[in-house]
Chain A
Amino acid sequence: MAQLSVKTVESKPPLKRPTNKFTIFMKQIDLQLMVLPALALIILFSYVPMYGIMIAFQDYKVGNSFSSSPWVGFKHFAYFFNSPDFALVMKNTIIISLLKFCIGFPAPIILALMLNEVRRMRFKRIVQTVTYLPHFMSWVIIGGLVGSILATDNGSINMLLQKLNLINEPINFLSVPEYFKTILVSTNIWKEIGFGSIVYLAAIAGVDPSSYEAASIDGASRFKQIYLITLPSIMPVVSIFMILAIGNLLSAGFEDILVLAPNPALRDVSDVIDTYVIRVGVNNYRYSYATAVGLFKAVVSVGLLTMANVVAKRSGNSLW
């Protein structure tokens, strides 16, 4: 049953359909017109600016026009692949995004499942509000907050640990490369977990209550119900979000890393593609180079997205 309710979204209505495409279009003209603004938005702000990609193959200088810049082929790509930073940047990007994916992706699902079991509505609402509030704070604020909490001189965490006699000397949390990824990933989860769980809570709310009743009559425990009813029911939503998350694997983060790793000593563990682009490319006015690196990332991302979609297709929950 639960399967059914979700399936209806995708399954085609068993009506006699007109074969003429134009007739179909005209029949849905009201719906189609509503899509138009969204299409216009995407074309204007996502496709039209793409012509700027050509500067990745040029030596573009500020003040020149795109048409007057000399073409240099794959020079900037070659520079990036041969740069001593390439291996390090790619390594960090992949490690950080895999960590964020493996821990950060299931976290909101688990929170949603847990919240769903809470019977006291008041408590549930409070938890939801508290967990999704940080989402609305900008990274700059979070960076300042984390920076002062974890500081060595007068940082609250260090003071607490010292008062509890757990440590003698304050720990320099923000300067030890080994701690950086933990801080980054946990800050990310703290910030986004509540907001991420909203989608899953909505999906769970759509599950037919009669399946739970049937299951409990059959003697299924709460855990069994979660495992056998709730999870399979929200699986389509989960897999769509997973495909999108895989498409974003090369976006290991940007603002979060900029604000949490101001210390250049951390660069060996914190430098990812996006921070590299801004530091080496944009801030040094090497627009062509920045574009080339960004384009490389986009191409790989599209590849990953397609791959994930192919895999998901087998389970019938693909994006397209």
Chain B
Amino acid sequence: MKNKRKLVGSVFSTAMALSLVVGCASNNETKAPNEPAKDGNNKVEETAEAPKLYELGKEQLDITLFGNYAWYAATPKWGSEEITKYVQDTKKVTITEVPNGGNNVQKLNTMIASGELPDVIWGERGTDVERLREAGLLVPLDDYIDKYPNLKKWLDPMAANMLRSPDGKLYTFPNWYSNRPYGNAGWVVNKKIYNELGAPKLETTDDLYAYLKLVKDKYPKVVPFESDLAAEGQGIDQIFSAFKENNLSFTRFYAVPEGDKMVSIYKDQGFRESVVYAAKLFREKLMTQDAMTQTRDQVQEKLNNGKVAVYATSNPTVYAMQADAELRKTDPEAGYIMIMPIYKEGLDPSKIFPGTFNKLGWNSAVITTSAKDPEAVFAFLDYWTSPEAMTLQMFGLEGEDGYWNGLEADGVTPKFTEKVKTDPAGLTKLQGKMDPLMWVGNTVFVDDLKAEIQKTLAESERNWATYWQSEITWKTQGDATEFIDLLPNPETEEGIAFQRAKDIWLKVRAQTLYAKSDEEALAMLDKAHDDSMSAGFDKVLVKLAEKWHKNQEIMKGK
């Protein structure tokens, strides 16, 4: 009896051990065939030569998509609400997100290492895309662009040239590309507090300082200046913009142009002044003391409760719009307004840019060699950026009870219904909901429609974000197209030096905020300059300038 039990035990444990081994072995096998993904390029050319267009809706098309941002989630789930359900039914396209679990870098790394890439990766252009391209994991789009109607029509050829990789091919499908200024960065003021304090002049940095002091005196429970997530540069980048003319978001490179060269940002007069100014605000408790540690939720809570007097960030239209709606619910006098960008006395206000835009859009989608039929994926993206699909994403389904019904004579502009006027909140909600699914937004088409609608509305009926975009932010964004994609490849010597400089930058930018005196802040900047230089940043500066001049040449059409 005892022996029998023994035997059962041993057989059982052996079986378990074996199953472990076998289980893992089969895993290894499934991974192996994905490895030769490198020569996927050849495959692509074959399919590209096929003369026929891929017809959406002919057969079921499943696309996997990965959003390369920690904050990103492709919600609502595809097919779970009526708009994507409609696309699913009529075009037979189903998009499945590969979730990033809040840690996009690691997830992407894992997918690259295991060779299990999604069909589409959506995120920043630049080094990530270049890295994937060099590894031969991306499909060039050139052959498809000419075949399909929409991207070819709406993308500026100059922009297309700038998007090209060093091998001369185009790999990225841009998002929210445009040839006109757009963007949301700027300064927001709490209307109620501002009016109660007698609406003082609020134009220069001195005005701002005086106003913040006044707020702190009169409203001790209110945060005078809210920066949003300053660890990412929010708020403090806008302060920097006030101290330098033609400032085109140079905090991305830790360098500013001087003549035809790039020089270290730490020696820039405007930057140094802005650091001292921000440190002064922080020291005197005129700026949120949680600037470097808070989360977005904490910021939004303060905004929604009206506990913020002045707010500056790169995307206030979204956040302040929510808070504005929240405050108006209880008090029609409350809410937020935007003001023209703050500038330092003596500078030309027309050259102050709290944010920048570029004609290539803010990010892009790439198709990987893991896609079974890259042309089909492209066909979908091309459809998704078309007027027809943009109308769906922005205004929902067609119908008498929808926001639009039928098309104008031009065959693309939707005929808007009265509901656009009567239910702007519902429309805002719809657009907010669909926003995470707008991977290849067509800015020119959409902005024209938005402007069209705004014209028909009375001032009080206008959408907060759209109103301030047309009144202020679009006019005050700088064109940084010539400064895009300057960063060196992370694996090169310059790339490593740049990472080191970035490490120093992030640290010093946070530390200067806590500086006890102006001298201390400036000394920190000098030390950061020396540290960056000894890490090889001088070579990076040369590379940045080279790439910048190359961009300028492409823009001039050479």
State in angstroms the CA–CA spacing of A23 and B39 once bound together. 56
Indicate whether A152 sits within 8 Å of B511 (C-beta atoms), given known contacts A30-B9, A286-B490.
no
User: Which residue from chain B places its CB closest to the CB of A34 in the assembled complex?
Assistant: B13
User: Which residues from chain B contact A170 at a C-beta distance below 8 Å?
Assistant: 289
Interface flag for B16 (CB, 8 Å): yes
User: Which residue from chain A places its CB closest to the CB of B7 in the assembled complex?
Assistant: A30
Q: Report whether B293 and A33 are in contact in the complex, using a CB–CB cutoff of 8 Å.
A: no
Q: Report whether B301 and A154 are in contact in the complex, using a CB–CB cutoff of 8 Å.
A: yes
Q: Report whether A172 and B131 are in contact in the complex, using a CB–CB cutoff of 8 Å.
A: no
Interface flag for A117 (CB, 8 Å): no
Q: Report whether A285 and B13 are in contact in the complex, using a CB–CB cutoff of 8 Å.
A: no
**Knowing that A63-B112, A263-B231, A286-B496 are A-B contacts, what are 12 other residue pairs whose CB atoms are under 8 Å apart, sorted by A's residue number?**
A30-B6, A34-B9, A36-B14, A37-B17, A65-B35, A140-B102, A151-B298, A152-B290, A153-B302, A264-B511, A265-B514, A280-B503
User: Which residues from chain B contact A147 at a C-beta distance below 8 Å?
Assistant: 293-295, 298
Interface flag for A282 (CB, 8 Å): yes
State in angstroms the CA–CA spacing of A62 and B490 once bound together. 12
* CB under 8 Å from chain A, chain B span 124-151: 131, 134-137
Indicate whether A63 sits within 8 Å of B13 (C-beta atoms), given known contacts A175-B289, A263-B292.
no
User: Which residues from chain A contact B506 at a C-beta distance below 8 Å?
Assistant: 264
A285 CB contact (under 8 Å) in B293, B491, B507, B531: B491
User: Which residues from chain B contact A65 at a C-beta distance below 8 Å?
Assistant: 35
State in angstroms the CA–CA spacing of A264 and B113 once bound together. 29
Q: How far is the CB of A92 from chain B (nearest CB, A)?
A: 13
Interface flag for B458 (CB, 8 Å): no
Q: Report whether B531 and A84 are in contact in the complex, using a CB–CB cutoff of 8 Å.
A: yes
A144 CB contact (under 8 Å) in B16, B135, B295, B534: B295
Interface flag for B106 (CB, 8 Å): yes
Q: Report whether B17 and A151 are in contact in the complex, using a CB–CB cutoff of 8 Å.
A: no
Interface flag for A40 (CB, 8 Å): yes
Number of interface residues of B (CB under 8 A): 53
State in angstroms the CA–CA spacing of A265 and B509 once bound together. 8
Q: Report whether B289 and A62 are in contact in the complex, using a CB–CB cutoff of 8 Å.
A: no
State in angstroms the CA–CA spacing of A285 and B35 once bound together. 19
Q: Report whether A265 and B13 are in contact in the complex, using a CB–CB cutoff of 8 Å.
A: no
Interface flag for A61 (CB, 8 Å): yes
User: Which residues from chain B contact A263 at a C-beta distance below 8 Å?
Assistant: 231, 292-293, 510
Interface flag for B47 (CB, 8 Å): no
Interface flag for A313 (CB, 8 Å): no
User: Which residue from chain A places its CB closest to the CB of B21 in the assembled complex?
Assistant: A40
* CB under 8 Å from chain A, chain B span 1-54: 6-7, 9-10, 13-14, 16-17, 20-21, 24, 35, 38
Interface flag for B223 (CB, 8 Å): yes
Q: How far is the CB of A165 from chain B (nearest CB, A)?
A: 15
State in angstroms the CA–CA spacing of A169 and B509 once bound together. 24
Q: How far is the CB of A33 from chain B (nearest CB, A)?
A: 4
Interface flag for B109 (CB, 8 Å): yes
User: Which residue from chain A places its CB closest to the CB of B293 in the assembled complex?
Assistant: A174
User: Which residue from chain A places its CB closest to the CB of B127 in the assembled complex?
Assistant: A285
Q: Report whether A63 and B137 are in contact in the complex, using a CB–CB cutoff of 8 Å.
A: yes
Interface flag for A121 (CB, 8 Å): no
